[in-house]
Amino acid sequence: MTDKVVEKVAVQTEESRSQSRRAFLKGGAAVAGGVLFTQAASAREIQFDPKRAVAPYAGREEITTVLQDQSARKALGWGVRQYPYGMPSPFEKEVQRRTLEWLTPDSMASITMTPLQSLHGMITPNGLHFERYHGGGININPDEHRLVIHGLVERPLIFTMDDLKRFPAESRVLFAECPANGAMEWKGVQLNSVQWTHGMMSCVEWTGVRLSTLLKEAGIRPEGTWLIPEGADASGMARSIPVELGMDDCMIAYAQNGEALRPENGYPIRLVVPGCEANMWVKHIRRIQVTDKPLQHREETSKYTELMPDGTVQNMSFYMEANSVITYPSPDFKMQGPGRYVAKGIAWSGRGKVDHVDITFDGGRNWTEAKLTSAVLPKAWTRFELEFDWDGSELLMMSRTTDETGYVQPNMPQMREIEGTNNVYHRTAMVTWKIHAHNSEFGGMIENVQF
């Protein structure tokens, strides 16, 4: 380019810049064809407010030292193509699904729980999805796997995995929660981490075929009132599901978060029963038998039943109640000293959308409504946040969800009044995090206490 051309280009750029600037000023914030800035920050808004400071003031020398220490690397980096399937940073290696040895000493019957304390947003990464097996995991060759629909139907059917993918697909963000979530906390507090108090649950985007589409293709006979899905693994996992529930919003899913199901979550296909106990979400599903009565299978008699205070047993519980937990600050963290914090957590309800979440810092005397900070989808995790100033005194933090049906999450005394102390499942009452006073022996530590 000659000097002249360069000059011309420069002038043009300058001109077009001032042109678009004029358009911007003329149209206010909105410019034809789209919004450039919804709100220009006023000088007052970006002024320093000492009350909100999180990081301490840094001097010129400190800044120089930090920048020099973190200067650009002198050597070339590593070849990313060596890792065709990406993994998290090695510095995140402590973020893992974990199990409690005493809970499932037999390695085949496993429960590994999701590290909720390390998650952000409303999606659980596939490698951290909790896992529960009654008889160990299996690897299934999808070319050999079949889904059979039989029993009280007009046309018994056998689907290959390719057949299933020819149907319209549906993707939905949904939580899956084992009703044993929180079970270890029924009689009193036991464990100091949200991974243990609430980690038998995850939330991912499931993709698959609506179950009703397949059932309609088979045609349910008028006497057919129950569905009995069964898994292909050693546990022969089965649960009885009323036909109306199966015809509602259930899915046969083949993908989670955009990729094929993980082996431990049911590859190549699993049943998804939105909002309901995860034990109904039969993995490696191989058949659905249509019957005229529930099966009273092992998994709905000896397990997943609730022993009531009067000694009777309640079975066939389906939906998971509204629930919530503060994941930060929570027992895995320690307060950094008095100042500004944001309480962050997850709320969910098997009956639909979260309506609102309230937070208390004084064990339930005063409540403040939190802000919902994610999409609010039915039967999915919903994120909430609330800013607070910690003056260093002892706090008793709890969160309480109200769902769209008007159901309000109970506290533990309220829950015990109805359910007694013999039950194991559906412990969905609030938990309490005690923040120890800054100047106390356990200054700033966070403890699970029962309230």
Ligand X SMILES: Nc1nc2c(c(=O)[nH]1)N[C@H]1C(S)=C(S)[C@@H](COP(=O)(O)O)O[C@H]1N2
Q: Which residues bind to ligand X, rule: CB under 6 A? A: 129-134, 176, 178, 231, 233, 235, 237, 264-266, 278-279, 281-284
Does residue number 423 form part of the binding site for Mo ion (CB under 5 A)? no
User: Are 171 and 249 contacting, i.e. CB atoms less than 8 angstroms apart?
Assistant: no
Q: Which does 134 bind (CB under 5 to 8 A by kind): Mo ion, ligand X, none?
A: ligand X
Q: Which residue number, 132 or 198, has a Cβ lying nearer to Mo ion?
A: 132
- 3-state secondary structure at position 177: strand
Q: Which residue number, 180 or 430, has a Cβ lying nearer to Mo ion?
A: 180
What's the closest the beta carbon of residue 177 comes to Mo ion, in angstroms? 9
What CA–CA distance (Å, rounded) separates 292 from 289? 10
What's the closest the beta carbon of residue 319 comes to ligand X, in angstroms? 15
* The only residue of 119, 140, 153, 178 in contact with Mo ion, by rule CB under 5 A: 178
What's the closest the beta carbon of residue 238 comes to ligand X, in angstroms? 9
Query: What are 114's two structure tokens?
Result: 């999701």
What CA–CA distance (Å, rounded) separates 223 from 254? 30
| Cβ neighbourhood burial of 381 (10 Å; 0-12, 13-18, 19+) | buried
What CA–CA distance (Å, rounded) separates 246 from 234? 24
Q: Which does 436 bind (CB under 5 to 8 A by kind): ligand X, Mo ion, none?
A: none
* The only residue of 240, 256, 279, 324 in contact with Mo ion, by rule CB under 5 A: 279
What's the closest the beta carbon of residue 433 comes to ligand X, in angstroms? 25
Kindly calculate the radius of gyration of the chain based on its CA atoms and give it in whole angstroms.
27
Segment 249 to 278, residues that bind Mo ion, using CB under 5 A: none
Task: Name the residue whose CB lies closest to ligand X.
Answer: 231
What CA–CA distance (Å, rounded) separates 315 from 300? 6
Exposure pattern of 247-286 as b/e (b: 16+ CB <10 Å)? eebbbbbbbbbeebbbebbbbbbbbbbbbbbbbbbbbbbb
What's the closest the beta carbon of residue 100 comes to Mo ion, in angstroms? 15
Q: Which does 231 bind (CB under 5 to 8 A by kind): ligand X, Mo ion, none?
A: ligand X
For residue 417, which phi and psi values (nearest 5 degrees)?
-60, -40
Place of tokens 């951290």: 128
Q: Determine the interface stretch with Mo ion among 15-23, 131-139, 307-315, 379-387 (rule: CB under 5 A).
A: 131-139
Q: Which does 176 bind (CB under 5 to 8 A by kind): Mo ion, ligand X, none?
A: ligand X
Q: Which residue number, 178 or 357, has a Cβ lying nearer to ligand X?
A: 178
What CA–CA distance (Å, rounded) separates 41 from 35? 15
Interacting residue ranges for Mo ion, rule: CB under 5 A:
132, 178, 279
